[in-house]
């Protein structure tokens, strides 16, 4: 293929100054809209700039005004449809408010999140939206806030940090789903979450580093205890994020003598793995196994059986976080938390438990 043409050089303020026969400082004042320049001179400089197709350098403007009109967003896993829709909410809202968005993915790893925050601060973003990867390890976020960087949390929070946040009521959602399964007759309900931990088996809540997971798990255990379920914590499994790990967990859970008759999945990627495991093991949903999942992912309502879901408002969460951030950049001082409801949408994946061998 042919080589490209040699690149044209970008037109600078110096080029405009030379062509308009003024000093560079005068040209910069006229084009940057600061300092004093006579109207006649300003008009001559602006016309010259237009003739040369000069484009203002937004970086230079940032250095003069302290605003970049760019915000940073750090999310856990952009591939997860929950975050895909949340990011769409952020970018749509940012565009309406005149901001660009630099997106970074933490992969749910605090070290990566720390690197991303440093990168974004070095780029002089006007503010940050973060879904923190750990509620315990937030020194870098505390530091960013202390330096005066406008900060909003989305979906999750960091313990002890007073930061604007757009959240959902995870505890209420988990209680609602658990009660639905109990009402259908289930007494052995498993709860699967993607949260990282040294092992899949759940010991106690001190293992949990995400406020969302803590809220959901507490809600699940509370509702299970209130319904008199026996040792519900024995059916809780962590580390179900990677498909292979989820399959190992499900094979262990679903082939035991004491197998659960229903599963509550903490995201739609895990719910897909429940379907995959059920296929492999020859279990029909909901006849042999009931399922409720967090997130109204598109596939949950299109296929058979349609899945009963906790419909997190992920698009609205992103949009609200961006609006909160814009207000904080504009100078709002009061810290606000907006907690969204998570409706339960009943479809076809919950049935009474099968009669199991003792």
- Residue 71's DSSP bridge partners are 101, 127
123 binds a copy of itself (CB under 8 A): yes
Closest CA to 154 of 163, 144, 142: 163
Q: Between residues 182 and 324, which has the closer beta carbon with respect to a copy of itself?
A: 324
**Residue with Cβ nearer a copy of itself (91 or 193):** 91
Comparison of 302 and 355: residue with beta carbon closer to a copy of itself: 302
In 3D, which of 164, 214, 212 has the Cα closest to residue 312? 212
Least distance in angstroms from the C-beta of 14 to a copy of itself: 13
Near a copy of itself by CB under 8 A: residue from 18, 24, 124, 187: 124
**Cα–Cα separations (whole angstroms), residue 301 to 185, 256, 306, 309:** 24, 30, 5, 9
Of 88-96, 152-160, 175-183, 252-260, the segment contacting a copy of itself by CB under 8 A is: 88-96
Strand 151-154 relative to strand 127-130, pairing: parallel
Q: Which of 17, 37, 45, 104 binds a copy of itself (CB under 8 A)?
A: 104
From the CB of 68, what's the least distance to a copy of itself, in Å?
A: 7
Q: Which residue has the tokens 């003024």?
A: 22
Residue 28: Cβ within 10 Å count? 20
Q: Does 346 bind a copy of itself (CB under 8 A)?
A: no
Give me the residue label for tokens 């080589």. 3
Choice from 57, 137, 187, 316 touching a copy of itself (CB under 8 A) = 57
- Provide the token pair at 226: 């209130």
- Quick check: 73 and 103 in contact, CB under 8 A? yes
CB of 264 to a copy of itself, least distance (A): 18
Query: Cα separation of 212 and 330, whole Å?
Result: 29
Q: Which residues contact 106 (CB under 8 A, 6 or more apart)?
A: 74, 75, 76, 112, 113, 116, 131, 133
User: If binding is defined by CB under 8 A, does position 148 make contact with a copy of itself?
Assistant: yes
Report d(CA 343, CA 313) in Å as an integer. Answer: 9
Q: Is 159 in the site for a copy of itself (CB under 8 A)?
A: no
Q: Binder to a copy of itself among 45, 74, 87, 264 (CB under 8 A)?
A: 87
Least distance in angstroms from the C-beta of 332 to a copy of itself: 10
Asked if 338 touches a copy of itself (CB under 8 A), the answer is no
The binder of a copy of itself chosen from 47, 159, 252, 298 (CB under 8 A): 298
Number of other residues whose CB lies within 10 A of the CB of residue 95: 12
Q: Count Cβ neighbours within 10 Å for each residue of 177-214 and write b for 16 or more, e otherwise.
A: bbbbbbebebbbbbbbbbbbbeebebeeeebbbbbbbb
* 57: phi then psi, degrees, rounded to nearest 5: -85, 110
Q: Which stretch binds a copy of itself (CB under 8 A): 35-43, 141-149, 204-212, 224-232?
A: 141-149
Q: How many residues bind a copy of itself (CB under 8 A)?
A: 66
Q: Where are the beta strands (DSSP E) in the chain?
A: 70-75, 100-105, 127-130, 151-154, 164-168, 189-192, 236-237, 262-265, 290-294, 308-310, 337-340, 344-345
- Residue with Cβ nearer a copy of itself (48 or 300): 300
With contacts defined by CB under 8 A, name the span among 41-49, 103-111, 226-234, 254-262 that binds a copy of itself.
103-111
337 binds a copy of itself (CB under 8 A): yes
Instruction: Please tell me whether residue 84 binds a copy of itself under the rule CB under 8 A.
Output: yes
Span interacting with a copy of itself, options 44-52, 62-70, 132-140, 227-235, rule CB under 8 A: 62-70
Which one, 87 or 194, has the nearer CB to a copy of itself? 87
Q: Which residues would be at the binding site for a copy of itself (CB under 8 A)?
A: 1-10, 55-60, 62-63, 68, 70, 78-79, 81, 84-85, 87-88, 91-92, 100-105, 119-124, 145-149, 162, 269, 272-273, 275-276, 279, 297-299, 301-304, 306, 333-337
């Amino acid at each position: 293929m042919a080589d490209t043409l040699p690149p044209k050089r970008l037109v600078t303020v110096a080029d405009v100054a030379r062509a308009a026969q003024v000093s560079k400082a005068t040209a910069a004042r006229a084009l940057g809209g600061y300092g004093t320049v006579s109207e006649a001179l300003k008009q001559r400089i602006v016309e010259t700039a237009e003739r040369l197709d000069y484009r203002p350098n937004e970086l230079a403007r940032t250095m003069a005004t302290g605003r970049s009109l760019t915000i940073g967003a750090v999310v856990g896993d952009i591939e997860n449809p929950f975050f895909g829709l949340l990011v769409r909410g952020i970018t749509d809202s940012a565009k309406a408010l005149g901001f660009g968005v630099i997106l970074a993915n933490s992969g749910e790893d605090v070290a990566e999140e720390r690197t991303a925050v440093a990168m974004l601060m070095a780029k002089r973003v006007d503010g940050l939206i973060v879904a923190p990867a750990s509620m315990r390890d937030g020194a870098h976020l505390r530091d960013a806030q202390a330096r005066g960087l406008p900060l909003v949390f989305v979906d999750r929070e960091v313990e002890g940090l007073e930061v604007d946040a757009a959240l959902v009521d995870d505890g209420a959602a988990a209680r609602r789903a658990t009660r639905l399964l109990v009402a259908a007759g289930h007494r052995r309900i498993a709860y699967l979450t993607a949260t990282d931990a040294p092992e899949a088996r759940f010991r106690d809540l001190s293992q949990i580093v995400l406020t969302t997971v803590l809220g959901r798990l507490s809600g699940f255990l509370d509702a299970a205890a209130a319904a008199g379920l026996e040792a519900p914590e024995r059916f809780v499994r962590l580390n179900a994020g990677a498909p292979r790990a989820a399959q190992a967990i499900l094979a262990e859970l679903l082939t035991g003598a004491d197998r659960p008759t229903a599963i509550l999945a903490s995201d739609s990627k895990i719910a897909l793995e429940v379907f995959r495991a059920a296929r492999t093991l020859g279990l029909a949903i909901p006849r042999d196994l009931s399922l409720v999942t967090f997130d109204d992912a598109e596939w949950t309502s299109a296929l058979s059986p349609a899945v009963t879901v906790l419909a997190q408002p992920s698009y609205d969460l992103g949009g609200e976080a961006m609006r909160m951030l814009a207000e904080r950049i504009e100078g709002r001082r009061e810290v606000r938390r907006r907690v969204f409801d998570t409706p339960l949408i009943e479809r076809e994946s919950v049935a009474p438990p099968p009669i199991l061998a003792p």
